[in-house]
Amino acid sequence: MKQQPAGESKPKPSQTPKRDLPEGMHKLGESVTTEKKTWTLAPSTLTEVTPTGSAKGVPHGWRAAKMTWTLTNNAGEIQPLLDLFPTVRYGSMGRPAIGFTDTGIEGMPDTVSADPPRVKPGGTYTVTMGIAVPADAAGDPITITTRPKTLFGNTGDVAFFEGPFPGAPARKAVALHPSPAPETKKTLAFGEWNADQQLSIGDVRAEGTGDDGRPVYGGDLTVFNDATDGSGPPYTPMKTSVRVYYGDQLKEADLIGALVPTADETAFIAPQRAATHHFRFALPKGTKPGTATVEVTDLGTALATFEGKITDRSS
C-alpha cells in the first residue's frame, strides 16, 4: 500500500479547528499581511499593567493593559511607517476603550508627517500601546479595527482583531443578538432595534447640570454589523450622528460635543460585532421634558427615529 507523503495529509472534519471568531477576524497574537503584501501587522495579546505616576489618559478606577504592534516592511525599498489608527472597543456592546501612554508605553507615533519614522526593507518597527477599560470589564473581549494610512491617504486594508482583556471576568459575558422591530413600526421605543439599519438608542438619562446651569442628559447609540464575515462589503462604518428633540412641538436640543467618531470613515465595525457611542445634550433651564425623541442620521440623512421616557439618574 502506497503511503501518503508527509505533510500532505488532510485533517478529518472532526479534526478541523473550530473558529470562535467570525470569518475575516483574527485573534490577538496572529499576524496579517496587507492586501498589497507590503506590510505584515503582528499585534500581541494584552498584558495587564499598573499605571505609574507618569501615566496619561487612564481614568480613575479603570484597569490598564498594554500590547505591542510589530510592523514588518515586506517591500524591497525603505517605507514610511504605516499609521494604523486603531479603533479599540470592549464588551458585547462595543463601547470605546481609552488609549493611554506611560513609561515604556509610548503609543502610536505620528506617521502622517513630513518626516515620519521609516523602516528598511525586511526591517521591523515595534510600538507599545496602552488600553484602559472600566474596572468591571475584566475578561471582556477587546475588538480592534485597523485601517492603515500613509502620506497618500487610506490604504483600504481594514483588519479586525479580538482578544480578552486580562483578568477574571467581573461580570457574565453577554452576546449581542439584536431582534429588529417590525419594519412597519415607524417610531421605535428606546431599546428596540431598527430592522433595516441594525441600530438602537439605549435609555436616555439625566446627567446633572452643565457649567451654564442647563440640565444635561445622555444616551447611547449602538450600531450592529450583521455581516457574517469581514471579507468585503458590507463593512459598517460608524459614521452616524443624532438629533434630539423634546416637547410636543419637537424643539431641537443642543448636542454637547461631537459623537466621536461620527465623521471618521476608519471606524469600521467588525462582523457580528457592535459599536456604541455616548451622546449628550442640554435643554433650557427649567425644562422638564419627560420624554425625548432621537433621530439617527447618516451624514444628515435620517435613518431611524426613537422615542422614550427620560430616566432620572437617581432611579
Please give the pLDDT value at position 196: 86
Grid cell at residue 266: 476608519
Pair 46, 163: CB distance under 8 Å: yes
Query: What is residue 103's DSSP assignment?
Result: T
Please give the pLDDT value at position 11: 42
Given pLDDT bands bounded at 50, 70 and 90, which one contains residue 247?
Answer: confident
Matching residue, cell 480578552: 164
According to DSSP, the residues that pair with 187 across neighbouring strands are 305
Residues in CB range of 205: below 8 A, 6 or more apart: 217, 218, 219, 310, 311, 312, 313
Handedness of CA 141, 91, 51, 278 (dihedral sign): positive
Between strands 204-209 and 301-311, the pairing is parallel
d(CA 243, CA 253): 8
User: What is the maximum span of the chain, computed from C-alpha positions, in angstroms?
Assistant: 90
Given pLDDT bands bounded at 50, 70 and 90, which one contains residue 7?
Answer: very low
d(CA 209, CA 285): 9
pLDDT tens sequence across 11-64: 444 444 445 888 889 999 999 998 788 899 999 999 999 999 999 999 999 999
Please give the pLDDT value at position 235: 67
Minimum mean pLDDT range among 9-23, 49-63, 238-252, 280-294: 9-23
pLDDT tens sequence across 220-233: 999 999 888 877 66
Task: Provide the Cα torsion 182, 186, 190, 193; round to 10°.
Answer: 40
The model's pTM is 0.86
Please give the pLDDT value at position 244: 96
Full DSSP string of 203-263:
-EEEEEE-TTS-EEEEEEEEEEE--SBSSSS--EE--EEEEEEETTTTEEPEE-S--TTTT
